[in-house]
Amino acid sequence: MSSKPRMSFGYNPPTGVRNLETIRPREFLSDLHRALDAASQSFTSLWVSDHINYGNEFRVECWTLLTWIAARYPGPKLGTIVMSNSFRSPALMAKMGASLQHLSSGRFILGYGAGWHEGEYRAFGFDYPSPAARIDMLEEGVQVIRKLWTEAPASFAGKYYRVENAHCEPLPDPAPPIMIGGAGEKKTLRVVAKHADWWNDLSRRPDQTQRKLDALRRHCQAEGRSYDSIRKTFTTRIFIHRDRRRARDAAGSWLDSDQPPIVGDPREVTDALMQWADMGFDLCITVFPNFQELDDMKLFVDQVMPHFA
């Protein structure tokens, strides 16, 4: 008998409107309670997205929500999917992460990225540098954070950031994993190969994903880094129903998006996830559309997750 493929699962609840599920602002807190009550029993990790807003939609801030979750749900690991380096100075982010790691008994995972949505930058008064500059800033930011998490006092002098004889007590023990999100084959994946403990990508067609993995492997070889030492994770929308046609109807235009969701009945969803496991991914961070009803999450937990170790 063959062994089960290894895959663990995280849950990413909405922080507000994301054009996927219905959000009722007045009932958001009670809906969130109900979703997390269910998810915390089965998923190994809970993840919060970092967007301020896309327009005038209802949305709560990432770190505020994550600390609220940390206090109320003491079991699962806690991660950001992913925090924008642009919104908080890396030195402050290091202090925030060290504090949460201490208060949560070592459950924090720092998901970190260069940021991308120009509209929210402009709306909130943040500078919006070029993509190349944002990735360079991300690379320096990760180095600042690692310095502050592992040295006391810590100093760093770069093009964008500087710290001098800084103490980040309590030093996190252990230091949280740093998971870099992004898939640019020339610059971002080089930063992943050089600095990340984990890598996170969005769902893609298998041939596209394999191209990203090949690029990451080449960067690892160039950096003298073991490709296998980087944990591969991905985030995907899940449209699941006992009737595969109803799952496809629910997915609608998402089927034609640049990041296609995983869609189908439990068997189809399981088979799709096994493809990801075969490519070396062992953590799937899930997004479900039925935030209020939770029937899709429960079907996934009951009929898909048992197929994985």
Alpha carbons 200 and 182: distance in angstroms, whole number: 7
The pLDDT tens digits for 17-30 are 998 999 999 999 99
What CATH number does the domain containing 85 carry?
A: 3.20.20.30
Residue 3 lies in a domain: no
Residue 3 has pLDDT above 90, yes or no: no
**298: containing domain:** 8-307
Q: Is 88 helix (H, G, I), strand (E, B) or coil?
A: coil
Tell me which long-range contacts 252-261 makes (C-beta under 8 A, separation of at least 24): 254/20, 258/204, 259/202, 259/203, 259/204, 260/203, 260/204, 260/205, 261/203, 261/236, 261/237
Amino acid 203: pLDDT:
97
pLDDT tens digits along 226-243: 999 999 999 999 999 999
pLDDT band at 1 (very low <50, low <70, confident <90, very high): very low
Residue 116 has pLDDT above 70, yes or no: yes
Residue 220 placed within a domain: yes
Mean pLDDT of 205-211: 97
**Number of domains, the chain:** 1
Which pTM value belongs to this model?
Answer: 0.97
Q: 16: left (phi > 0), else alpha (psi -120 to 50), else beta?
A: left
User: Does residue 2 lie in a domain region?
Assistant: no
